[in-house]
């Protein structure tokens, strides 16, 4: 099985648009995972039919048993995260602030605080025309999106581990969710854009990915908006020995396809669709060659 993650150093580069198109263009059986759990929107273009929804239990958080609490306030004084709230003489934990350190359970003289599992999201398993999709929803304000990303990938592998391709729509940025996404993948495709911040974020995301040793590919979206910076990215990729597998032009057809909720490659022939088709063919060849080694 080839495990390919499509990522970007920052949001808004067109990563999900490219992932959706690749889901149609790359051959063989596949399972899709939307690991951008803070803003999952692959479902907007994959038109999934939900088969099951499972709760996701994140880290434990503290809960005060009011029948045991004597109102001494020691937990409030020791919580570094301001998660203990006082309402008159009653104390309660704000679950959105609780970091699960359990200090309050250690200092409470009445054993009134315990650590309880808390649902911080849900994992959805769906079918699409191209295969199963695992996607998730993180409850607003809940942290630990890296753990949820791990759970999404685990579900996909458990349910569809025999597919030819595991295609992941990754999160933007370089934090914990990205690390969870790229650990264990064979290849990453970084979608960037021709801007100073695009090049800066590309360098950062590549530095993180290299620690996990996947093959790294780069595509520049809307490359023709700044040909000079696109050229700079191209030179940097060559210097770093990273294959630039595609240059996608700015194309109003992309906006129209997003509005219509379909990958741009499903719509009429357009410059962006043609560029992504070339990108997919090149990528497929590269991935297969590596898989056969």
- Cross-strand pairs, 121: 56, 138
Residues 112 and 90: beta-carbon distance below 8 Å: no
Residues 57 and 109: beta-carbon distance below 8 Å: no
Q: Of 76 and 226, which has the nearer Cβ to ligand SF4?
A: 76
* Backbone φ and ψ of 172, nearest 5°: -75, 170
Q: Tell me, by CB under 6 A, how many residues bind ligand SF4.
A: 27
**By CB under 6 A, residue 75 contacts ligand SF4:** yes
3-state secondary structure of 151: helix
Minimal distance in Å, beta carbon 65 to ligand SF4?
A: 8
**By CB under 6 A, residue 104 contacts ligand SF4:** yes
Minimal distance in Å, beta carbon 123 to ligand SF4?
A: 25
**By CB under 6 A, residue 110 contacts ligand SF4:** yes
Minimal distance in Å, beta carbon 88 to ligand SF4?
A: 12
Interface residue with ligand SF4, options 5, 7, 18, 113 (CB under 6 A): 113
Q: Contact region for ligand SF4 (CB under 6 A) — 44-52, 104-112, 135-143, 208-216?
A: 104-112
**By CB under 6 A, residue 112 contacts ligand SF4:** yes
3-state secondary structure of 214: coil
Interface residue with ligand SF4, options 74, 176, 208, 267 (CB under 6 A): 74
Minimal distance in Å, beta carbon 100 to ligand SF4?
A: 5
Interface residue with ligand SF4, options 22, 69, 151, 206 (CB under 6 A): 69
Tell which phi-psi region holds residue 130, choosing left (phi > 0), alpha (psi between -120 and 50) or beta.
alpha
Q: Contact region for ligand SF4 (CB under 6 A) — 9-17, 75-83, 138-146, 256-264?
A: 75-83
Q: Contact region for ligand SF4 (CB under 6 A) — 110-118, 140-148, 156-164, 177-185?
A: 110-118
Using the structure block, give the residue that is written with the tokens 């997919």. 280
Residues 146 and 208: beta-carbon distance below 8 Å: no
List C-alpha distances in Å: 275 to 35, 94, 161, 180: 25, 50, 30, 30
Rounded to whole angstroms, the Cα distance separating 255 from 88 reads: 53
3-state secondary structure of 247: strand
Residues 74 and 54: beta-carbon distance below 8 Å: no
Interface residue with ligand SF4, options 35, 83, 138, 206 (CB under 6 A): 83
3-state secondary structure of 98: coil
Minimal distance in Å, beta carbon 69 to ligand SF4?
A: 3
- In this structure, what DSSP letter does residue 111 have? -
Q: Contact region for ligand SF4 (CB under 6 A) — 7-15, 58-66, 199-207, 229-237?
A: 58-66
Minimal distance in Å, beta carbon 173 to ligand SF4?
A: 24
Residues 37 and 148: beta-carbon distance below 8 Å: yes
Interface ranges with ligand SF4 (CB under 6 A) = 61-62, 64, 69-75, 79, 81, 83-84, 91, 93, 98-104, 108, 110, 112-113
């Amino acid at each position: 099985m080839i495990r390919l993650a499509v990522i970007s150093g920052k949001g808004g580069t067109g990563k999900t648009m490219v992932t959706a198109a690749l889901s149609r263009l790359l051959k063989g059986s596949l399972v899709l995972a939307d690991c951008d759990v803070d803003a999952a929107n692959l479902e907007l273009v994959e038109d999934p039919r939900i088969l099951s929804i499972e709760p996701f239990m994140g880290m434990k958080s503290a809960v005060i048993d009011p029948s045991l609490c004597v109102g001494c306030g020691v937990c409030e004084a020791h919580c570094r995260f301001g998660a203990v709230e006082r309402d008159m003489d009653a104390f309660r934990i704000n679950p959105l602030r609780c970091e699960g350190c359990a200090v309050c359970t250690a200092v409470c003289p009445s054993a009134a605080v315990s650590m309880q599992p808390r649902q911080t999201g849900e994992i959805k398993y769906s079918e699409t025309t191209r295969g199963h999709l695992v996607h998730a929803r993180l409850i607003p304000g809940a942290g630990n999106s890296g753990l949820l990303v791990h759970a999404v990938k685990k579900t996909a592998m458990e349910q569809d581990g025999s597919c030819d391709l595991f295609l992941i729509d990754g999160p933007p940025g370089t934090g914990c969710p990205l690390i969870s996404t790229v650990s264990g993948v064979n290849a990453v495709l970084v979608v960037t854009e021709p801007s100073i911040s695009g090049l800066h974020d590309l360098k950062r995301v590549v530095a993180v990915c290299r620690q996990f040793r996947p093959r790294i590919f780069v595509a520049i979206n809307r490359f023709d908006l700044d040909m000079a910076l696109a050229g700079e990215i191209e030179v940097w990729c060559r210097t770093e020995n990273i294959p630039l597998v595609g240059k996608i032009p700015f194309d109003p057809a992309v906006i129209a396809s997003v509005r219509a909720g379909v990958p741009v490659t499903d719509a009429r022939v357009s410059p962006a669709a043609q560029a992504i088709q070339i990108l997919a063919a090149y990528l497929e060849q590269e991935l297969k060659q590596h898989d056969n080694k």
